Amino acid sequence: MIARPNKDSKHRGAVRSLLVVTILSSIVVLMAFGADSLTVDSRPNEVKPIVVKDSIASVTAFKQVYAVLMSPRCMNCHPSGDVPLQGDDSHIHAMLPKRGKEGKGVYAMKCSNCHQSTNTPGLHTPPGNPEWHLPPANMRMVFQGRTENQLARQLMDPKTNGNKDLKKLIAHADDGLVLAGWNPGEGRTLPPVSHADFKKAWITWLTTGAVAPPEK
């Protein structure tokens, strides 16, 4: 004997069919009249830098990065103490300004008092930039005295690099104060390589794994 579907099963089947038709119809309506909404809701994910690990290329690139960061143009504003360094020999700043909480000096001894928005004309006069400052007290980012291994690790740790991820680190190569290192004013030596070469080495290091050179 063959069982025949009862009225309840027929009713449930009809409801399911109606539900499927309704859903499909809704999708068609959205596609036809809600294209703008779908575009907004379907925005592609933010593009992230591609990292292809290559320890040899990474370590080689960082040697060039390290040479720039340890030059007076960079290291003078990344001292081990709270007083900036000065000159090509990186001696203690003659005015003895202190870092301060925000890295911009304390009381009347503010960095901007002498360091204007542009370089002051003349030999060995104060270099300038609108954002001239040391790193803040809670994120001192010391370069002075760091080995290649120590500095590389420091630069990749958000707790010691200013809370920067890979994308922000790459963008930092074009930061205004970084660029100021290649425009230091009369009588000061430039970093050992051009900014273009530094940026290339910096990005190469970061995108090949940001490998820290081994301690010697």
pLDDT of residue 15: 44
Residue whose C-alpha is closest to residue 162's, from 203, 105, 102, 120: 102
CB environment 81-118: b (16+ within 10 A), e (fewer): eeebbbeeeeeeeeeebbbbeebbbeeeeebeebbeee
Q: Given the structure tokens 């003895």, which residue do they identify?
A: 96
Walking along the chain (216 residues) 10 residues at a time, the average pLDDT comes out as 51 51 43 37 61 96 98 98 97 96 96 96 96 97 98 97 97 97 97 98 98 94
pLDDT of residue 43: 44
What is the pTM for the complete model shown?
A: 0.78
pLDDT of residue 166: 97
